[in-house]
Chains A and B, each alone.
Chain A
Amino acid sequence: MTSFLGTDTIIEITYLIATALFILSLKWMSSPTTARHGVWAGEAGMLLAIAGTLLNRGIVDYKWVVIALVLGTIIGVPLGKVQMTAVPQRTALSHAFGALCVTLVGTAEFYLRAPGVPKFMMSVLSMEVILGSLTFTGSLMAAGKLQEVLPQRPITFKGQNFVNLGMMVVAVGVAVVLVLHPDRMYLFPAILAIPLLFGVMMIIPIGGADMPTVISLLNSYAGLSAAAMGFVLNSKLLIVAGALDGASGLILSVNMSKAMNRSFSNVLFGAFGQEAAVGKGGKEERPVRSATPEEAAGILAVASKVVIVPGYGMAVAQAQHKVRELYDILTKRGIDVKFGIHPVAGRMPGHMNVLLAEADIPYDKLLDMDEINGDFPQTDVALIIGANDVTNPAARTDSSSPIFGMPILDVDKARTVMVIKRSMGAGFAGIENPLYYMDKTLMLFGDAKSFVGSIVRELSGGHS
């Protein structure tokens, strides 16, 4: 017995060290200079914990464990190699996998222990399974929408929130009955099936622009379900990892909902995606000023301070490398070029930064909304590429606008505003943008990639 006790202690110590490494891992993520150490710390902790677990004397058969570890690695490698534009759907898919693991373990634990599961155990087990299964289908749906294998258009129907809320009430009700009467094993499949359906229903009304919030929220759920699993298995390591993940998802969800001007409770209850009925007021034909690439290049060439505001449209047009060329050529002329990035630019938190970093734009030129907004009054040219609603000054000034109160990039305070846009069509939320009709605004109509390319050609031709 004492020798076994020795092994148990060793295992617990590997878990303890792994826990510390996980916390350090997140701490090092605070800055790009130390962030890669964070990955290494996380990997070391993970390897240590898995190695420790394999020593567990309860394991009688390694065959399936090894096969599964190998299989998981084979699936994991291509998932680590996806393109940067596909990172949001990859992330959603990995939330689904994490939730699947938690749900399956929870289900197995229930049938191993039932009947006669103690009340507290049954409560956390229910929480694990409910959160896990709704995160599983919800994340699969989100991944499908992001990958565009499912229609991205939000699907809404009358009483949707009522139906969804009702499902959750029923699921929680069943769980309560199970806690009180753990012998009613036949009820267990219900707390799997109802949340699985709820996960689908939850994502149906979500459109593309709400994805950053949804992914963060699913991230939080995945973490909480893993923490619940930690309670079930009495694993402190898992509780800590789940709590860290849950906290991270929570912070990101709050950030995203603030950036989208939605209250957090609105998001929590799955009421997002309910785009306010768009005011379709008579479309007046107002004059706009447009400009050619030559004119745009001329204005940029005499500027001393330029802020580029990229939106998801830039990524869709695959224009980031052309934008980098523009950045290079302007910087070479001694022009100060910075990027202003709205928190919801892209399809997940921070996505735009990754896309620009991939195009080799130095990260110290990528500034978030709060950092850049003070700079606009001293900016000669604000160049907007594929962003719309996040630059709409109506959010500041027009209390009747559906996006009133949403924090925006104050591009309208720059001396000249240039907007690269395919046409005058309204943005995602279908809201008119008064920015386009301002005297200082020049509309540059065309495809982002080719238009930026033309500006670059113009600037390099005229210079050397």
Chain B
Amino acid sequence: MKMDLITSLYVFMLAAFIGLEVIKRVSPLLHTPLMSLTNALDAIAVVGAIILAGEHKSTLSTILGTIAIVAATSNVVGGFFITDRMLKMFKASAKPKP
């Protein structure tokens, strides 16, 4: 248990550093699609909700888990969908730059 915690903290710290470094390199051009993409990725919380609803440990947990799946899934679907729609619109000039 204690070791899990320490490992988790390491994971969080490393992921935060990676996040800061990777996202610093994202062009301001794409900040809106970036936000909708991270939002969709964040909806990975759905895996926790699926287990909660599927385990059926109590009525309350099943109900809350089911609503949570609906909320997160709509983010997954809507988030990826709109990000791709936005990115499709970004086109370079027809002629290559001199």
Question: CB within 8 Å of B: which residues of A?
Answer: 15, 18, 22-23, 25-27, 29-33, 35-36, 38-39, 42-43, 45-46, 49-50, 52-54, 56, 58-62, 64-65, 67-69, 71-73, 75-82, 84, 87, 90-91, 94-95, 97-98, 100-102, 104-105, 107-109, 111-112, 118, 120, 215-216, 219, 222-223, 226-227, 229-231, 233-252, 255, 341, 343, 348-351, 353-354, 357-358, 360, 362-366, 368
Contact = CB atoms under 8 A, between A and B. Distances in A.
B4 A234 contact: yes
Contacts of A120: 5
Given A90-B78, A354-B86, A235 B43 contact: no
Interface in B69-95: 69-94
A364 B34 contact: no
A67 B40 CA distance: 20
Interface of B: 1, 4-5, 7-8, 11-12, 15-16, 18-20, 22-58, 60-62, 64-94, 97
| B interface, over-half SS | helix
Nearest to A102: B45
Contacts of A240: 11, 15
Given A26-B37, A65-B54, A101 B46 contact: yes
Nearest to A70: B73
A363 B32 CA distance: 14
A90 B61 CA distance: 28
A223 B76 CA distance: 14
A248 B90 contact: no
B80 A38 contact: no
B77 A241 contact: no
B74 A46 contact: no
A56 B51 contact: yes
A197 B93 CA distance: 49
Contacts, number: 369
A248 B30 contact: no
A64 B60 contact: no
A350 B77 contact: no
A26 B22 contact: yes
Given A29-B33, A350-B31, 8 more contacts: A26-B26, A29-B26, A35-B33, A50-B50, A61-B56, A219-B35, A247-B23, A363-B90
Given A98-B39, A100-B71, A350 B52 contact: no
Contacts of A64: 53-54, 62, 65-66, 69
B30 A353 contact: yes
A244 to B, nearest CB: 4
A58 B55 contact: yes
A238 B34 CA distance: 18
